[in-house]
Amino acid sequence: MTGRVAGSAALVLVDGARPLRPESALFEAMLAGWRRQQLSRRLSESLIGGRERVVRRFQAFTGRWPWAWTSGQVEAFIAGGGWAHSTVRSYQGALSCFLGFVTDARYGWVAECEQRVGARPVQVCHEGNTAVHVAAEGRPARRPLTRPELQAFFDAADDRVEQAGRTQRKGWLAAFRDATLFKVVYGWGLRRREAVMLDVGDFTVNPGAPQLGRFGICEVRFGKAMRGSPPRRRAVATVLPWTAEALEQYVSEVRPRYGADRQSALLVTERGDRMSARSVDDRFALWRAAAGLPPELSVHCLRHSYVSHLIEDGVDPLFVQSQVGHSWASTTATYTTVGADAKNRMLQTALARVLAGAVGPAGGSR
């Protein structure tokens, strides 16, 4: 049975061969088997290659082979790296995945190691020494806004537009653009770079919702990429009609005043250039302060708000996952915080269904 599994020792090792460096040969065979197993799962070459490089890097760091690795070595490797949180998670994930493969009895590598080198590999990455998703740690900068907070934020942005318009101040165009920017980020659940890289032509009609006009679908061309891969594309259906209306007004009445006729970018500066991701942070900080919101909040909280509010409103979680471009439902789940009001509504709905089901057709209990 083991010999038929993709990546198993029986399929990779050559019977009767006596390599000059048995430890190195066994390690290379493990990597070859792991690659075969990942290819059978239809994983990309870039992802497989990146994982293998991490494993080789860790082997070079320890100077030992997988059957001699320890949890302490993983902790020392990560502690001395100085990497970003996302990089740490990626490295730990690669090591955990590799060791999960070689310690799986279905592949026969544990028995092969015991026979050839007299030792067996074990899983050395565990909950006690691996990083969790930043959202799971409860970082306040990434939490969803409550609906009153979101309303206060947009009210502050719209008030600035109205004040600048009444006084005919020069900053009216920028204020209107900024208000539109954050409505786009929230309205389509975008990351800041995804928003600033949008072109006017990235919005199209959705045949399933023609009433939304030309802003029925947002084609995101610069989604977050896997390491070594090009940006991922996705089509985001418009689910908040008021955001389409706000964008229509900006594109029709405000953007032409920037004189950016030759610029395809949706969001432009006073010089007619595309907005930068850093400027998004600066503008968000201004409206956050004007709304009296906590200073630790970041623009990414609008994306979290989009996910949480849709879930609260009863939208299918799989649809939400597709909208925001997450590969795994567990990632979308970390974005989701259901408010107390929504919990009460869900409770009342659940109770109503249970009570309705407990009453028979003639009014008696079943």
Predicted pLDDT at 342: 55
Predicted pLDDT at 154: 94
**Residue 59 host element (H or E):** helix 45-62
Q: Tell me the average pLDDT of the chain.
A: 84
Q: SS3 of 222, please?
A: strand
Number of residues that make up the chain: 366
Predicted pLDDT at 113: 92
Predicted pLDDT at 364: 44
Phi, psi of 19 (to 5 degrees): -70, 150
Predicted pLDDT at 130: 85
Torsion, CA 58, CA 64, CA 70, CA 75, rounded to 10: -30
Confidence label for 16 from pLDDT (cuts 50, 70 and 90): low
Of 88-92, 167-171, 346-350, give the range with the top mean pLDDT: 88-92
For 244, counting Cβ atoms within 10 Å of its Cβ (0-12 exposed, 13-18 middle, 19+ buried), the class is buried
Question: Which range has the worst mean pLDDT, 78-87, 169-178, 249-258, 336-345?
Answer: 336-345
How many other C-beta atoms lie within 10 A of the C-beta of residue 37? 21
Residue 227 vs residues 42, 48, 51, 91: alpha-carbon distances, Å: 17, 10, 10, 11
pLDDT in tens, 310-335: 988 888 889 999 999 987 777 777 77
Predicted pLDDT at 10: 58
And the tokens for 169? 């101040």
Say what the pTM is: 0.60
Bridge partners of residue 359, in order along the sequence: 365
- The span from the CA of 257 to the CA of 152, in Å, is 28
Predicted pLDDT at 15: 54
Predicted pLDDT at 351: 63
pLDDT in tens, 185-242: 999 999 999 999 999 999 999 999 999 999 999 999 998 876 667 888 999 999 999 9
pLDDT in tens, 20-67: 678 999 999 999 999 999 998 888 888 889 999 999 999 999 999 999
- Stretch 159-174: mean pLDDT, rounded? 81
Predicted pLDDT at 34: 94
Task: Name the CATH architecture for the domain at 138-335.
Answer: Orthogonal Bundle (1.10)
pLDDT in tens, 264-300: 999 999 888 899 999 999 999 999 999 999 999 999 9
pLDDT in tens, 108-147: 999 999 998 999 999 999 888 888 655 444 566 678 898 8
Q: SS3 of 237, please?
A: strand
Q: What's the order of all strands across the beta sheet hosting 232-237? A: 203-204, 217-223, 232-237
**Tokens 């955001």 identify what position?**
243
And the tokens for 220? 């995101």
